[in-house]
Structure formats: structure tokens, C-alpha cells
Amino acid sequence: MFKDIEHLMRLSVVMLLALVLFVVLRAAVVPKSFGQYGHYRGNAIAEIAARPPAFAGHQVCEGCHTDVVDQKKLGRHANVPCEACHGAQGKHADDPASVKPQLPDTAVICARCHEANSAKPKGFPQVVSAAHSGGLACNTCHKPHRPKIEDEPKTASVKPTGGRK
């Protein structure tokens, strides 16, 4: 029955060797964490999670700048987070002594939110800045942390003539 078995044996030895080679190579090449959660490298999750954040988060800012928090509470910017205007301050939060943040330019930063646009929600305070202030920096009259002008002597040379929407 198995009179010509020898060539079958040789073939099976070759196939077995190929199988062993495949298993050894696969074990060497595929990362250890592959398949930990699914068909991907499980360690990739931890690697992506390990990156340092650039934005510190307003809770961190509020830990030190309590005077600003008290000012903001009184006005309509109470819920505007610090880094919305001041930019990413993670480095400043890590090393407040040597990394000093730049003050933002109010003429640019205020207009991004408050420049009139028909797509903005109707109740949102908007101005046409050219008509409202004529290109003057907003902080000439308004304090950004507490923007409403009240109980202050109206000494500003330019009064808003209009442009409100």
C-alpha cells in the first residue's frame, strides 16, 4: 500500500521545516502586544496616551491666578476658559518662573468671537468692529476678563458710536 512512501516523507519533512520556520519568524516579527485587545498592537494605546498635553486646562490656571478668576466671575466671560484667548499654556504651567506667556492682541482675538456674522447665534453679542471702535484695540475701553463697561468714569476718548448688531 505505502510502497513509494519515501518521497512523501521527504516532502512532509520539508513542509514541517517550512512550518517551523514560519512559526519562529512570526514569533520574532509580530510585536508581543499584538492581539492584546484586538487585531492591532496593544502597546500603541499606551504610546499614544503618553504624549504630553500642550494645553494645561483652566483648573490649573485657576490654581494660581485667583485674582483673575474673581474678576471673571463678575462678568459674562465667567465661563470662557483661559486658554481660549491666551493659547496653550502647558509649558508656562510646568515652569511658571521661566516661561512667560505673551499677552494676546485684543484687536484680533476679540473680533474672532464678536465680529458680526449672520451665522452666529442671534443672542450672541456681536459688533461690526470697524464701525464700533474704528480699529482701536478692544482693551482701550473693555477689560477682557470683565468686559461690560460700568461704574467707571467714561474717560475713554473714543465712545462706541454704533456698529452693534
- Contact residue for other proteins among 69, 115, 136, 163 (CB under 8 A): 115
- Contact residue for other proteins among 68, 69, 80, 136 (CB under 8 A): 80
- At CA 33, angle to CA 32 and CA 35, rounded to 5? 110
Nearer to other proteins, 94 or 152 (CB): 94
What is the nearest approach in angstroms of other proteins to the Cβ of residue 113? 4
Q: In this structure, are residues 109 and 85 in contact, taking their beta carbons and an 8 Å threshold?
A: yes
Going by C-alpha positions, the residue among 82, 79, 76 that lies closest to residue 142 is: 76
Residues contacting 138, CB < 8 A, separation 6+ = 106, 107, 110, 111, 144
Stretch binding other proteins (CB under 8 A), from 83-91, 98-106, 134-142, 143-151: 83-91
- Residue ranges in contact with other proteins by CB under 8 A: 31-55, 57-58, 79-81, 83-84, 87-88, 111-113, 115-121, 124, 128
